[in-house]
Amino acid sequence: MALLKVYEYPDPILKKKAEKVEKVDDELRRFMDDMLETMYDAVGVGLAAPQVGVSKRIVVIDTTHEGEKPEPLYLVNPEIIWKSEEKVCGEEGCLSVPEQRAEVERFASVKLRYLDYDGKEHEELIEDFLAIVVQHELDHLDGILYIDRISRLKRQMLLKKLQKLRDGQE
């Protein structure tokens, strides 16, 4: 396994709509293993392939806490096929927008169709925190960042803080 480079805002790869995966094979599984390792290393709960520079519809997620048994979720060609009327607001962060957080509105639950690590199709109702993570990660596949879903004023403030952080790192 290998750690992959995480691309950060405003890299154009993050704005691109990702392409469907044609086949779940060993090469793809190796890539998903690398994505998962990269996500754990960065202490993230989700990672989408465009964030590591690959414009394909692949997401890895693990919302378990440190010390708990890992429960990785591999989503290939994931699609939201139903959304609840109810919406929720929660703070989100993103490995591609380091050290920033903002409140984002999401659907409280969604029904998800996807292929797993073995290429098997699933349909599942996803709720609670996992539903928020799924919507955040699926957005990445359509070139959308969570900062695209907050007000312009909040986005400007957040991007200013990000710039300050980067200036301090130089």
Nearest distance in Å: CB 136, Ni ion: 6
Nearer to Ni ion, 94 or 112 (CB): 94
Q: How far apart are CA 16 and CA 23, in angstroms?
A: 21
**Which residue from 40, 15, 31 is spatially nearest to 76, judged by alpha carbons?**
31
Nearest distance in Å: CB 7, Ni ion: 11
Find the catalytic residue in 92, 99, 123, 137: 137
- Closest residue by beta carbon to Ni ion: 94
**Residues contacting 29, CB < 8 A, separation 6+:** 117
Binding residues for Ni ion (CB under 5 A): 94
Q: 121: exposed, middle or buried (C-beta count within 10 Å: 0-12, 13-18, 19+)?
A: exposed
Catalytic, 123? Answer no
Nearest distance in Å: CB 102, Ni ion: 12
User: Any idea which residues carry the catalytic annotation?
Assistant: 137
